[in-house]
Amino acid sequence: MRGLEVSFDLNGTPVRANVALSDRLSTTLRDHLGLVGTKVGCDAGDCGACTVLIDGAPCCACLVPVGQAEGAKVTTVEGLKSTGTLSRLQESFLHFGAAQCGICTPGMLVSAAALLQRTPNPTRSEVTDALGGVLCRCTGYSKIIDAVVHATGFNSGDVSPPVGASVGAGIRRLDGGPKVAGTEAFGADLTPDDAVIVRVLRSPHHHAAFAFGDIAGYVDCHPGVLAVFTAVDVAGRNCFGVIPPFADQPVFAEKFVRYRGEAVAAIAGERAAMKTLDLDEFPITWEPLLHVLTPDQAQSEDAPRLHDGRDRNVLVRGYVERGDIAAGFAQASHVVEGRFSTPFIEHAYIEPEAGFARRVGDRIEVFASTQAPHMDRGTLAEILALDPTQIRVVPTACGGGFGSKIDISLQPYIAIAAWHLNRPAALTYSRQESMQSTTKRHPSETRAKIGCDETGKITAFEFEGTFNTGAYASWGPTVANRVPVHASGPYFTPNYVARSVAVHTNGPPSGAFRGFGVPQSAIAQECLYDELAVKLGIDHLEFRLRNALSNGQATVTGQVLAKGVGITACLDALKPAWERAKSEASRFNRQTNGSSLRRGVGIASCWYGCGNTSLPNPSTIRMGVSPDGRVVLHQGAVDIGQGATTVIAQIAADALGVPVHSLDLLGGDTDLTPDAGKTSASRQTYVSGMAAKLAGESLRRKILRHANVSSDARILSKHGCLELVDGAVVTSLDLSRLAPDEFGYVFRGEETYDPPTKPLDEKGQGVPYAVYGYGAQIMELTVDTVLGTVKLDRLSTAHDVGRAINPVLIEGQIEGGSAQGIGMALMENYVPGRTENLHDYLIPTFGDVPVVENIIVEVTDAEGPYGAKGLGEHVLIPTAPAILNAIRDATGALVRDLPATPDKVRAAIKAIRE
């Protein structure tokens, strides 16, 4: 039949599909041929996740009409395996840690396979050229390059650490196999065939009143559309928020919307009808209202008030005061001051929000990409007016989160549709929808004033930060509270005042994004530190060392850490790199004198408190021995690519005393696994890791006590029994003789850990966190002073992780987090209505990250498991200020409004020459 059937060779097998031939090849592969290994990240050729080979040539399957596949040979990630095993390339990705969340991995693998076909031993630059069209938001690309360059020459086989030595071993990710095989199931990969498809109608205006027309008539005249849901269909509370006292966001807006992209209705129907549905025909009339997009506008007298009771649109203020600020400045011999700004920043995970829900009797089950399954459960219970026990949340593989997937997004829409229609209901956000509607990093306007004495000791630090929290609260209060606690940086600051305010605007809700406001405040602090060092004529690293916080000194909240303050160790570790970088830069600048190129070196530090700020933040981990002798770890710390699945298992294995690879892992299904809290605030290794350590130790004690053997006994798991080897004595426990408990286990260890923090008083004094992590980074870069372009040459990092549970995963966090810092410094700028796609909103590509050299510093923490500290957010914080400091070092130019795009760098260079 003309125009309806296509046949081609798919991974060596002839296939036929009856589809519209103008459909995207990616759609046919996923929806009609059942191969969901090909991922869709943008539907616009901007991300390369959907890369397949057509007759051996890589192309974006989202840009190819399936009609063009007629007679062609199409290879997807599923076709890379040979005879059922991973190819060398796939194993290399696993070996080098090249897959984190795994959503870009199929596109990377397919592109790399095409390269290796013609160039078996590629150079690093050949790899970046060949893979440059595929974006990764997790890894920072270095490990992907390693994996491709060494695809034919690495030692295959994983490290299998002996009992008691899992902690510290750079084992491969335990969940990595499916990620490199292309079989990992992300939110969009599980849609049941009989699911109805949900689409969400969203506001095209920043602020508008609206009225629905004849919705019943609309449903009647659109065959295949089954139902439209609006605020009246929310059985429970049409209001949600991650911090219950501040909850203010409706599932569906009522009467008016507060931001562009806000949901007003959801339409559910059969797949074919929904695909071609033109949402512009929906019966709704809009009346645009005056809107405000900046805190300045929002705080003015005549600005619209977004929420009752929030005067001048102020959501919340934060404050920390220590010492005597006036006296501190009076002591100062040098004072610097500056204003800085940053824009909205988009998380830009390659997986847009996706999932499906189904009704099972009087329960609802939600399978979706999330960072916080138990929080999702509680929120959905309120929205649906169900008991939390009636909600089951099953986290799918999460294709990147970075903070945004802590908040709910699509979950209520699929749950409401599935509940009312009694059919599975699925929804996959488009890239534009994801960018418009989900949370962002808070835009910031900061001002800081810092004074130091003749010896270079900081005497006073004053900070003010205004954060644009967008239309709804989300994590705005957290940002406002975290920033004043952290704005001093990891330095002893005796006299200190820091004020922050989160202001509502008609922008998208600002929420959690790797660092919760601290990356923004660190820019002000670290850039002004450099200016002080310049004034004093002191080496910039030495200046930081003179002020570095040490054990026994009070932080700006008056907290005294007796042990584990690692900033000095990080700065010391970087000294050789610093000296080399400075001398190489001056040699380069001498040799190229007169050219437009100037090389510079910049340094910046970070600290970051792990877990909630002075609030309860528990994790529970359950381990059990089943009657057949399996040791099961219920691991509820969602792995969004950072590696919690592997790290928590390493800790649990050592605590129990079994090989890590012998553990049976269960994920975060809320029906099966206790709450390990949300994946945020760099808390999983520390908090859930502590719970895992306690659970493993508890389980070990119970087993050993039951067997009446010494605490040194080794536990060997055999089929149906446990053997306890205590010196020369072997005791065998026949598990079939023991009564299983309510969870089916004959032995169980289940422990909860909550960080010991203390509330902050009205001056912000107290113990906000039990554990902090520290770090410092050096960026070497070259500025083209005529064009204002910046080329990053090398990044040297030193991060204090307390104890490196898995060094390979730690490097992955550092490289990936710093790549996000690079994006923040040089290119990222979310403008509502303007950069709602991945070609106008730029994130770093393979060609924008430098060579990275990492030093892992281990200053044992007093509290964390095996001395470990959190890391995930720390790694992003120093990168942007190190870049700005290096630009200043190279050129003298002060860039204070991010991103430092070429036009701004050039303008700053001209400003100093005029």
Which positions lie near other proteins, rule CB under 8 A?
Answer: 2-3, 20-24, 43-46, 48, 51, 54, 57-60, 62-65, 67-68, 70, 111, 128-130, 132-135, 275-276, 278-279, 430, 432-433, 786-789, 826-827, 829, 831, 834-835, 837, 839-840, 842, 844-848, 901-903, 906-907
Q: SS3 letters for 720-774?
A: CEEEEEECCEEEEEEHHHCCCCCCCCCEEEEEEECCCCECCCCCCCCECCCCEEE
Q: How far is the CB of 162 from other proteins (least distance, A)?
A: 44
Task: Using alpha carbons, select from 596, 572, 592 the residue that is nearest to residue 778.
Answer: 572
Question: Which stretches within 774-833 are classed as H helix?
Answer: 807-826
Q: How far is the CB of 42 from other proteins (least distance, A)?
A: 8
Name the amino acid, one letter, at 423: R
Q: Toward other proteins, which CB reaches closer, 71 or 192?
A: 71
Task: Using alpha carbons, select from 193, 101, 92, 188 the residue that is nearest to residue 144.
Answer: 92
Question: Is 167 in contact with 805 (CB distance < 8 Å)?
Answer: yes
Residue pointed to by tokens 């790290």: 647
Residue pointed to by tokens 């026994």: 552
Question: Is 604 in contact with 776 (CB distance < 8 Å)?
Answer: yes
Q: Toward other proteins, which CB reaches closer, 10 or 838?
A: 838
Q: Toward other proteins, which CB reaches closer, 43 or 184?
A: 43
Question: Is 619 in contact with 753 (CB distance < 8 Å)?
Answer: yes
Q: Toward other proteins, which CB reaches closer, 20 or 554?
A: 20
Q: How far is the CB of 898 from other proteins (least distance, A)?
A: 13
Using CA atoms, how far apart are residues 877 and 71, in angstroms rounded to an integer?
A: 51
Question: Is 269 in contact with 197 (CB distance < 8 Å)?
Answer: yes
Q: How far is the CB of 907 from other proteins (least distance, A)?
A: 7
Using CA atoms, how far apart are residues 74 and 82, in angstroms rounded to an integer?
A: 16
Q: Toward other proteins, which CB reaches closer, 274 or 804?
A: 274
Q: Toward other proteins, which CB reaches closer, 432 or 662?
A: 432
Question: Is 507 in contact with 831 (CB distance < 8 Å)?
Answer: no
For the purposes of burial, counting CB atoms within 10 Å of the CB of 85, is it exposed (0-12), middle (13-18) or buried (19 or more)?
exposed
Q: Toward other proteins, which CB reaches closer, 662 or 789?
A: 789
H or E segment and range at residue 216: helix 215-220
Q: Toward other proteins, which CB reaches closer, 66 or 147?
A: 66
Q: How far is the CB of 291 from other proteins (least distance, A)?
A: 19
Q: How far is the CB of 593 from other proteins (least distance, A)?
A: 17
Q: Toward other proteins, which CB reaches closer, 220 or 840?
A: 840
Structure tokens at 113: 């396979």
Q: How far is the CB of 50 from other proteins (least distance, A)?
A: 9
Q: How far is the CB of 312 from other proteins (least distance, A)?
A: 30
Question: Is 282 in contact with 201 (CB distance < 8 Å)?
Answer: yes
Question: Is 141 in contact with 108 (CB distance < 8 Å)?
Answer: no
Structure tokens at 46: 């901007």
DSSP-derived 3-state class of residue 376 = helix
Using CA atoms, how far apart are residues 488 and 463, in angstroms rounded to an integer?
A: 9
How many whole angstroms from its chain centre is CA 16? 39
H or E segment and range at residue 707: helix 689-707
Using CA atoms, how far apart are residues 568 and 681, in angstroms rounded to an integer?
A: 23
Name the amino acid, one letter, at 302: D
Q: What sign has the CA pseudo-torsion 557, 453, 547, 898? A: positive
Q: Toward other proteins, which CB reaches closer, 200 or 536?
A: 200
Q: How far is the CB of 61 from other proteins (least distance, A)?
A: 9
Name the amino acid, one letter, at 542: E
Backbone angles phi, psi at 466, to 5 degrees: -110, 125
Q: How far is the CB of 140 from other proteins (least distance, A)?
A: 14
Structure tokens at 75: 């290879």
Using CA atoms, how far apart are residues 154 and 158, in angstroms rounded to an integer?
A: 11
DSSP secondary structure code for residue 195 in this structure: P
Structure tokens at 331: 């002591």
Q: Toward other proteins, which CB reaches closer, 741 or 903?
A: 903
How many whole angstroms from its chain centre is CA 796? 22
Q: How far is the CB of 835 from other proteins (least distance, A)?
A: 6
Q: How far is the CB of 829 from other proteins (least distance, A)?
A: 7
Q: Toward other proteins, which CB reaches closer, 131 or 380?
A: 131
Backbone angles phi, psi at 310, to 5 degrees: -115, 85
Q: How far is the CB of 271 from other proteins (least distance, A)?
A: 12
Q: Toward other proteins, which CB reaches closer, 54 or 209?
A: 54
Question: Is 333 in contact with 452 (CB distance < 8 Å)?
Answer: yes
Q: How far is the CB of 195 from other proteins (least distance, A)?
A: 18
Q: How far is the CB of 742 from other proteins (least distance, A)?
A: 47
Q: Toward other proteins, which CB reaches closer, 77 or 450?
A: 77
Using CA atoms, how far apart are residues 681 and 13, in angstroms rounded to an integer?
A: 47
Q: How far is the CB of 131 from other proteins (least distance, A)?
A: 8
Q: Toward other proteins, which CB reaches closer, 23 or 407?
A: 23
Q: How far is the CB of 250 from other proteins (least distance, A)?
A: 22
Name the amino acid, one letter, at 654: D
> In sequence order, what are the residues at sequence separation of 6 or more whose Cβ sits closer than 8 angstroms to the Cβ of residue 595?
none
Q: Toward other proteins, which CB reaches closer, 316 or 819?
A: 819
Q: Toward other proteins, which CB reaches closer, 183 or 432?
A: 432
Q: How far is the CB of 53 from other proteins (least distance, A)?
A: 9
From first CA to last CA, the distance across the chain in angstroms is 71
Using CA atoms, how far apart are residues 652 and 660, in angstroms rounded to an integer?
A: 8
Structure tokens at 84: 């059922």
Question: Is 314 in contact with 515 (CB distance < 8 Å)?
Answer: no
Q: Toward other proteins, which CB reaches closer, 65 or 168?
A: 65
Please name every residue paired with 649 in a beta bridge, in sequence order, or none if there are none.
none
